[in-house]
Amino acid sequence: MVPQPVLAVLLLYPQGRKKESDASATSTVETKEPNKKVYFTKQTVGNACGTIGIIHAIGNAVSEIKLVDGSYFHRFYKQTADMDPIQRAAFLEEDQEMEDAHSVAAAGGDTEAKDGVIEHYVCFTCVDGELYELDGGKPQPIHHGHASPDSLLQDAARVIKTRIVEYSESLNFNVTCDFWHWEQNYKAYLIEHGHLNDSGHEDVAVQEMEATMLKKKKEEEATMLKKKKEEEEEATMLKEKKQEEEEEEEKEKKEKKKKKKEKDTGKEMEKGEMMMLMMALLNLGIEVVKLLKCVIVLLLVMVVVGVVAF
């Protein structure tokens, strides 16, 4: 016997192009305007139909279950409650926490995925007495007629049987029922896995685990802050180094300019001194010429005097 109440049914089935197109063509209820209470999101991330199926299952059962305040799903549904399916898909694309969890879960399986085999997850849920098939690859929820929470499994099985007939050449089918007895089953699950003691109180191991997770989170935040600080310091150092290089370059330019000026000044001084020397030599030559003239005149006078005396 399947525990009741069943809140959602997940179907894994082989997806083929021909059969998928045939199924779309034969559906006469898919175009029915969906109930706005149905939580639905498009799938724009590859290989995430299982994750989308779980999001659909929990999203349409939040009135029956109690999500832990501050938990991932509590935050996710609160943030996406007023979004349309496209906006929810875009939000999910940017959700790093979900991406990390999905990657870890996908890598943690024991069964090796076979190449060339394509399976797809869809979710069946009952909203306001109507059965809906939620497929992120479709434009909107697919309506499959009347249903009730008490008969959801049987109502979903009716649709699933037709799907099996459509894909009768394959045996790759799997059905999972999601049900919650939060006051008994969930607490029993926690006790069984050591998260609560027999009295229903939180075990020391859980407290230690939460403390470890909190410590790890703080360490990650500290690491991020340290990395950010190091990046800022590195940027500051690069800026200072660049400034020093620019100052050094400017200093070298000034030094070269100064030396050039001194060199030019020295040349001007040498040129001036040379001109002064040439002028002095010219003046000296003039004086020598004058002196020679005087000597010649004196000699002539002496010759004349000597002749007269003789």
Tokens of 274: 């040379």
Report pLDDT for 182: 42
Please tell me the predicted confidence (pLDDT) of residue 31: 52
Low-confidence ranges of the chain (pLDDT < 50): 17-28, 30, 182-184, 186, 200-202
Give the CA radius of gyration of the chain.
Answer: 48
> Helix (H, G, I), strand (E, B), or coil: what is residue 125?
strand
Question: Which three-class secondary structure state does DSSP give residue 86?
Answer: helix
6-180 in CATH: which number?
3.40.532.10
Task: Assess whether 201 carries a catalytic annotation.
Answer: no
Catalytic, 102? Answer no
Q: What is the pLDDT of residue 240?
A: 92
How many Cβ atoms are within 10 Å of 302's Cβ, its own excluded?
A: 10
Question: b/e string for 245-282 if b means 16 or more Cβ within 10 A?
Answer: eeeeeeeeeeeeeeeeeeeeeeeeeeeeeeeeeeeeee
Identified catalytic residue from 49, 123, 126, 177: 49
Q: What does the alpha-carbon distance between residue 85 and residue 135 come to, in Å, rounded to a whole number?
A: 11
Catalytic residue among 56, 102, 120, 146: 120
Per-residue model confidence (pLDDT) at position 44: 93
CB atoms within 10 A of CB 42: 20
In the chain, the amino acid numbered 172 is: N
Helix axes 96-107, 72-80, angle to 10 degrees: 130
**Closest of 297, 309, 5 to residue 151, by C-alpha:** 5
Give the burial class of 36: count Cβ atoms within 10 A of its Cβ; 0-12 exposed, 13-18 middle, 19 or more buried: exposed
Running DSSP on this structure, what letter comes out for residue 196? B
Residue at token pair 């590859």: 46
Residue 19 amino acid letter: K
Query: What's the pLDDT at 20?
Result: 44
Q: Which helix (H) or strand (E) holds 122?
A: strand 119-127
Structure confidence by residue, pLDDT tens digits, 38-94: 999 999 998 889 999 999 999 999 888 878 888 888 999 999 999 999 999 999 999
Q: What is the DSSP secondary structure assignment for residue 40, as one 8-state letter?
A: -
- pLDDT number for residue 193: 52
Instruction: Say which DSSP state 29 is in.
Output: S
